Amino acid sequence: MQLLKTLLTTLLLVASTTAAPPTAYLPAAAASKRDKLIVVAPTVTSPSSGSKWVVGSNQVVTWDTSKIPPSGQNNRGTIFLGFNNGTNSENLDVAHPLASNFSITSGRQSVVVPKVPHKTTYFVVLVGDSGNKSPEFTISHS
């Protein structure tokens, strides 16, 4: 019985440490300069709510670049597809980005709609040095 308790305690400890989110920290020198850190977070303007994409089609994701400061001009971006299923997860397909390594200041990026199930709750997330989510839209097979 004691062996079972020890095994269970060990498994719970391992699970809690591997499931814990990573701890973010800044080195002391960077922390003292945190007032100088700038987050580039452009708003996704397309797709918009009510947009409909068809699997296999070419689409353009757009975002507002008007508030990108000079210090963010060289940032590179990645676009992920996600969907809402009523949970706290954004269900992002991080293994298959729609696009990556493009200039965040371009304000637009062409993507090919992947073969995914029909849903009305898809969205894209634009990641530069911060993530920005579009409104939900539909992807269908026709």
Percent over 90 (pLDDT), the chain: 55
Percent over 70 (pLDDT), the chain: 70
Domains of the chain: 36-140 (2.60.40.10)
Q: With 50 as the cut, is the pLDDT of residue 77 above it?
A: yes
The answer to whether the CB of 39 falls within 8 A of the CB of 130 is yes
Distance CA 51, CA 42 (A): 19
For the stretch 17-67, pLDDT in tens is 334 444 344 444 544 444 455 567 789 999 999 999 999 999 999 999 998
Q: How high is the pLDDT of residue 123?
A: 96
Comparing 124 with 131, the larger pLDDT belongs to 124
In the chain, DSSP finds a helix count (H) and a strand count (E) of 2, 9
The dihedral through the CA atoms of 20, 26, 32, 33 has a sign that is negative
Q: With 70 as the cut, is the pLDDT of residue 130 above it?
A: no
Would you give the DSSP letter of residue 32? Answer: T
Q: How high is the pLDDT of residue 61?
A: 98
The dihedral through the CA atoms of 105, 108, 114, 117 has a sign that is positive
